Structure 1
Amino acid sequence: MLFETAGVHVAPWIPPVVAFGVSFITSMAGLSGAFLLLPFQMSVLGYVHPSVSATNQLFNIVAIPSGVWRFIKEGRMVWPLTLVVVVGTMPGVILGALIRVLYLPDPLHFKMFVGMVLLYIGFRMVRQLLDTRGKEPKTEEGSDFKTTVLFWNLREMAYTFRGRTHRFSVPGISFMSFVVGIIGGIYGIGGGAIIAPFFVSFYRLPVHTIAGATLMGTFVTSVTGVLFYQGMAPFFPAMHIAPDWGLGLLFGLGGIAGIYMGARCQKYMPERGLKWLLCIVLAGTAGKYIVEFILYVRP
């Protein structure tokens, strides 16, 4: 089957199957899986136009609501945290999309920076995991997984989860979300692959409580990104900027089932297992970016 905007031939069953497998695993850690679908589209399918970023964000729009609905139903959405993430990332993703279109049609040189940041976050997470071996409570099913917001304002927020209180700085997370939004706008990944491990590593927030917020933030910023890319397309007629709607929808169909099942199964996964999953994701993504940069600049 030919997808004209993407310029690729692929059997129509492949995108949803790949998206289901990727999003099922990654959604348990609060990630949509778009950051893994992007290299699949570029390296396997040969989709290298700037519009691949918009297509990737279209996948997020279609796939994420099923998982968000599941987190809401189970009382695991921390709404103030979600609001902070959305407000911070939206202007960032617009700026990132502008940078991608105007200055980085091939953002390879930016990958070394992103890769080093991801490696540092991953290093912090591994060190914390090794330092806390045997000290974390076992995961239990039931009402203990519901979160309760104690208070929130423009400076600080606090909520309880499984008998523990978690606090964080609202301005700090807002600024970090803005930076992540820029990176997500450039790469078309929504930013969840960076913001989720940042929450876990720097703010020590439980994975079970941040997954819904990061998915919702990724959804909202992806809507902004797709609308922006679609609106920019008429001004750059010589470039492929608008998403490939057919390919994005096929990926999204697989993602709907994958993210829903991942959100449903997450509470059966221990906290440490989810953190190690994030570490593996970070290491793989960072390694890919750094290796690609080194191979590109090597004489």
Structure 2
Amino acid sequence: MEWILLMLLGVVAAAFGSLVGLGGGIIIVPGLLLFAPTLIGEPIEHATAVGISLTVLIVTALASTLSYTKRGIVDFRSGLLFFITSGPASILGAALTGLMQAGVFQLLFGSLMLLLAGLLIGRDYMKPFAKEWPIQRSITDAQGNVHTYGYGLWSALAIGFGVGLISGLFGIGGGSLFVPMMVLLYRFPPHVATATSMFVIFLSAILGSGMHVALGEIDWLLVAALVPGAWIGGRIGARIAVKLSGNKLLWLLRITLLALAIQLIFEGISAV
């Protein structure tokens, strides 16, 4: 029964993650921290939860990227630019995770989830930045629709570093920050932002999880339990994302993030 529940956790996390470009870690990490005593009979270290999340994210992001690539909405060139700084930063973040006390980690992670929930709520009411960026990009999807947007080199590299650092530190994949930035700051179409974000997450998760492997912060049995669900959920989320607006699912995600954030902040305050 425990293995079935862990696989379902992987399905739900990956489906939500690929739907809005989060990557699934925002569900997996708090899920493991809060429910590990029930599922496996003992608590799990926060660094191990992050390492497991980043390892599973490789599978989730690969499944989503392959599905999005068939629909022609992954901007690989822009994704590689973001990865130049997000990749090394994810390694740095992964190395710093184990240095934090458990209570501090839960408090900071809960606060981050609260911020992300706010971003997901607020992005419906925010207007894209009107600046004309020096680098202009266009992409033609599988239906022949042309999407045009742009960005600045140094701002893109700076955003990549910040998102990569947070991704490696908390195991969340970084899409929760990448997508709002790409849509609001650079005027990426939402589907292109989500798809490109999953490509960057795939590359960054390889480096971040590699650091956790080197530090011995991976539970391979839990990874094996979560990976099948993550593969299935990643493909399901990608299919839903291109067919539906996802507004109702977005609100479900927002409510879930708020509930998990409150729980983690409460436990973090109690442990500090």
TM-score by length of 2: 0.81
Return the alpha-carbon distance in structure 1 between the equivalents of residues 67 and 113 of structure 2.
32
Return the alpha-carbon distance in structure 2 between the equivalents of residues 83 and 103 of structure 1.
30
1:117 offset after TM fit, Å?
4.1
Map residues 199-210 of structure 1 onto 2, 5 A cutoff.
199-210=182-193
Letter in 2 for 1:32: G
The share of aligned pairs that are identical, in percent, is: 19
Structure 1 residue 48 and structure 2 residue 44: aligned? yes
SS at match of 1:166: strand
> Which residue matches 1:159?
138
Pairs aligned (count) = 256
Gaps of 5+ in 1: 1-9, 133-151, 234-240
Distance change in 2, residues 1:43/1:224 (3 Å): same
> Which residue matches 1:74?
71
1:110 offset after TM fit, Å?
2.6
- Deviation string 1:242-287 (CA, Å, 9 cap, x unpaired) is x1112112211111111112222322113xx45x755664564356
- Tell me whether 103-112 or 166-175 shows the greater mean CA deviation: 103-112
Gaps of 5+ in 2: 38-42
1:58–1:222 CA contact under 8 A, matched in 2: yes
Give the number of the structure whose residues are more often helix, by fraction: 2
Return the alpha-carbon distance in structure 1 between the equivalents of residues 255 and 15 of structure 2.
19
> Which residue matches 1:219?
202
Distance change in 2, residues 1:246/1:278 (3 Å): same
- Deviation string 1:80-121 (CA, Å, 9 cap, x unpaired) is 121122212112111212221224554134346525643553
Distance change in 2, residues 1:286/1:89 (3 Å): farther
> Which residue matches 1:93?
90
SS at match of 2:20: coil
SS at match of 2:148: strand
1:297 offset after TM fit, Å?
3.8
TM-score by length of 1: 0.74
Letter in 2 for 1:204: R
Distance change in 2, residues 1:204/1:294 (3 Å): farther
Distance change in 2, residues 1:104/1:175 (3 Å): farther
2:147–2:189 CA contact under 8 A, matched in 1: no
SS at match of 1:167: strand
Distance change in 2, residues 1:20/1:55 (3 Å): same
Structure 1 residue 27 and structure 2 residue 42: aligned? no
1:57–1:225 CA contact under 8 A, matched in 2: yes
Return the alpha-carbon distance in structure 2 between the equivalents of residues 19 and 103 of structure 1.
26
- Tell me whether 13-22 or 161-170 shows the greater mean CA deviation: 161-170
> Which residue matches 2:175?
192
Distance change in 2, residues 1:29/1:294 (3 Å): same
Return the alpha-carbon distance in structure 2 between the equivalents of residues 53 and 216 of structure 1.
19
1:198 offset after TM fit, Å?
2.6
> Which residue matches 2:213?
230
> Which residue matches 2:265?
293
> Which residue matches 1:37?
28
Distance change in 2, residues 1:198/1:281 (3 Å): farther
- Deviation string 1:128-185 (CA, Å, 9 cap, x unpaired) is 3xx79xxxxxxxxxxxxxxxxxxx9xx6242146344211223212211211111111
Runs of 4 or more consecutive aligned structure 1 residues displaced over 4 Å after TM superposition? 276-280
